[in-house]
Chain A
């Protein structure tokens, strides 16, 4: 199918972009990578009156270390660039690990991190990564900006805290504390397909080898990325070893997720996948933290 007609604007500056969003409040849709938006337009699942193509806006393709030792990713940084840049692997290894699971190289060549977060597909990898790493999101609107924690950005199925006149312009990943390990795993029918279940894990150890902080975030088993914080809290103060990790993973999959069955996998099977992936991811993250 083909997209329905729309007005098209290709502003050169962020101010111009935000003016357009403000003036056509609610009617405008940002086009960056377009790898989720174009399928939606082609199927006519959405018919926005105005597309604001930001691909020519200067200054949005920043990928840089931040003063605090973290990583800043601008709205036009392509996923392929995140995949290839050694700085990303150093400063946000979970992001580098997860990005290879995002569709295919042809999609990642255009797709952006910010676009994936703003789209908020419950089966997408990058929202779960943003949540697991405690990313902070910079939202701009005409004459103002605000910073939001990833945990407050995702509000439901394909839903975010973005107002119609706001644009997600940048994501900050904070530096990981010492002795932190992360891991990302998902199960999909074929590489590049949407996951049937997936998980991002982060474990920080103290000098005594006991867990100081742990995060376990699921994807594709609920209405958005799910932070299984209650289950992960049981790890704090403990040594991250087999039986405990197994118990935490099972507990999280049994009580904190809400998978829907589909033609390829029942809800029960997805719960099983989630438990197995969570145990493996926590084990791997703990080993990396100790290394």
Chain B
């Protein structure tokens, strides 16, 4: 008798096929149904830019785009992403030497300190700015309400988002 194979939870409990696109690339895996999308992105795909904070939909750190809409990746099973297009914070910068305009605005306005909440805020605001080309400060603050930041006091984040919207209009 050969030694038992190492325990593999994926093989253990009714793995499901998952085909989706992540940041434009086709992905095909077999996943355990209980695997959260946030953990799939981080552990299976190594996309650790998506952060995991509260795991019950309150903090917003795990926000990603699913078919263009900002959602909580901790409140979605990976299997539910079958057939869908996922975008994470890694999709924003066009290259290693260049930032997305929103990231650039965050850098210029000092809109992050520890950075833990930043990926979720960026993805939330990318979706928000796609719908609002000329938002008011009040609209930006309301759109930020679902993302917790414990460092900045939000003022610099608001400034950065307004600046990014302004510079996009001027381009």
Contact = CB atoms under 8 A, between A and B. Distances in A.
**Chain B interface: which size bin?**
20 to 34
Contact of B79 (A1, A10, A41, A106): A10
Q: Taking each of A2, A104, A107, which has the highest tally of chain B beta carbons within 10 Å of its own beta carbon?
A: A104
A8 B70 contact: no
Contact of A109 (B16, B71, B80, B143): B71
B55 A42 contact: yes
A146 interface: no
Given A1-B55, A8-B14, A105-B70, A34 B143 contact: no
A211 to B, nearest CB: 34
A34 B77 contact: yes
Most buried by B among A51, A105, A107, A191: A105
Contacts of B72: 35, 106-107, 110
A47 to B, nearest CB: 10
B34 interface: yes
Contact of B75 (A7, A38, A43, A192): A38
Interface in B1-34: 13-14, 16, 32-34
A267 interface: no
B8 to A, nearest CB: 14
A111 to B, nearest CB: 9
Given A53-B80, A107-B57, A2 B36 contact: yes
Contacts of A192: 145-146
B63 interface: yes
B104 to A, nearest CB: 24
A5 B31 CA distance: 12
B71 A39 contact: no
A1 B80 CA distance: 19
Contact of B69 (A3, A6, A80): A80
Contacts of B87: none
A104 B75 contact: no
B76 interface: yes
B69 A38 contact: no
Interface string A79-98: 01000000000000000000
A107 B80 contact: no
Contacts of B55: 1, 39, 42
Given A2-B34, A53-B79, A106 B70 contact: yes
A105 B121 CA distance: 13
A103 B56 CA distance: 12
- Interface SS of chain A: helix, strand, loop or mixed? loop
Please tell me the size bucket of the interface on A: 20 to 34
B118 interface: no
A115 to B, nearest CB: 12
Nearest to A1: B55
Interface in B93-133: 124, 127-128
A109 B69 contact: yes
A10 B72 CA distance: 21
B74 interface: yes
A244 interface: no
A128 B39 CA distance: 35
Contacts of B13: 5
A42 B124 CA distance: 22
Interface string A34-52: 1100110111000000010
Contacts of A42: 36, 55-56, 74
Interface in B58-73: 60, 63, 66, 69-72
A7 to B, nearest CB: 7
Contacts of A264: none
A2 B56 CA distance: 10
Contacts of B66: 109
A55 B76 CA distance: 12
A3 B34 contact: yes
Nearest to A109: B69
7 contacts: A3-B36, A4-B34, A34-B77, A105-B143, A106-B60, A109-B66, A110-B75
Interface of B: 13-14, 16, 32-34, 36, 39, 55-57, 60, 63, 66, 69-72, 74-77, 79-80, 124, 127-128, 142-143, 145-146
Kindly list the 6 A-B residue pairs having the minimum CB-CB distance in the complex, ordered from nearest.
A104-B146, A8-B33, A39-B56, A38-B75, A3-B34, A109-B69
